[in-house]
Structure 1
Amino acid sequence: MKKMFLLIGCACLAGWFMWSEGLTHVSPVPEAPVVAEVEQPEYMVYITGAVRKPGLYSFPDVVTIGDAVHAAGDALPYAEASAVNYAARIEDGMQIHLPYNLDGVPAASESDGKININDADETKLTELPGIGPAMARHIIEYRDKHGGFTDCEQLQQVKGIGTAKFEKLKDKVTV
């Protein structure tokens, strides 16, 4: 009986091998490719010159030069803004240089920190002790009407500046 079970087992095994050879081999279904998120190109721009925060800036998309200058803190008051086309689009690796315009910028004064009453604007005049915006306008009106001051003592001829106020100012002004 043992032999019979052994023969039947061998026959079954041989039959299974013969049957499995007849089957076509099927590979497992490949997984669908995973599409990674498409990387957005970065646009690197080097901004120099008359901007508040010069340096290297990165933008995810193409922007205008005006947008890039804005990202750098905007142009300084003495920038030559007309030298750059703010509407042009940036390119990767581009350098944007906003040149300086030093025309009209007052030269450094050698007056020991004194304010020149013939050249100072209203803001500068208000830095003087006891001079507010209204008094600064009076000084400018006097200067425009009379052609400027020839000496500092003429400040006393401006309405509102008497001897006491002039004493506080005389060491802080020049012509």
Structure 2
Amino acid sequence: MTTPGGGGAADHGGFEEFYGGTRHRLVTYLYAMTGDRAEAQDAAQEAYVRAWQRWSAVSAYDDPEAWLRTVAYRLCVNHWRKARNRFRAHLRHGAGPDVAPPHPDTVALIAALKQLSVGERQAITLHHLMDLPVAEVAEQTGVPVNTVKTRLARGRRALAGLLDEEYHHA
């Protein structure tokens, strides 16, 4: 496990050994308790984050693994409680209105955007969909204004070809 925040073993002495020695047991325990491997892994991860944040205190406990197990299990219980409350609210209020499927043009646009480079897609999205001026796009993406302008021009050209191709195949 990479230590969160880039801290080393000197900052959290013994944590990596603790993690390595308890990880499998904790996930196995939570999986047996919840019946859901993904939920068990999520709860274990959150419990380890909390242990890491309080490692100087947790490492001094008589049984740090028991503390970890308790925290992880409580996270699962809270997840179940929230799910139960959502279910009860659903029963009380009924399902929300059906949401219409996305318009075919939206589906085509998203498919075309996925084919652009990340930089072009980000520039197009921020400028045209989020209505940000070029200077603000440059600031948010950390690139010069001229780079944003180039990405916009290239991205628009590529989108025009991709969407034209989609139109002719439909």
TM-score, shorter chain, exceeding 0.5: no
TM-score range, shorter chain: under 0.3
Task: Normalising by structure 2, report the TM-score.
Answer: 0.28
User: Relative to total residues, which structure has the larger helix share, 1 or 2?
Assistant: 2
When Rg is computed on C-alpha atoms for both structures, the one with the higher figure is 1
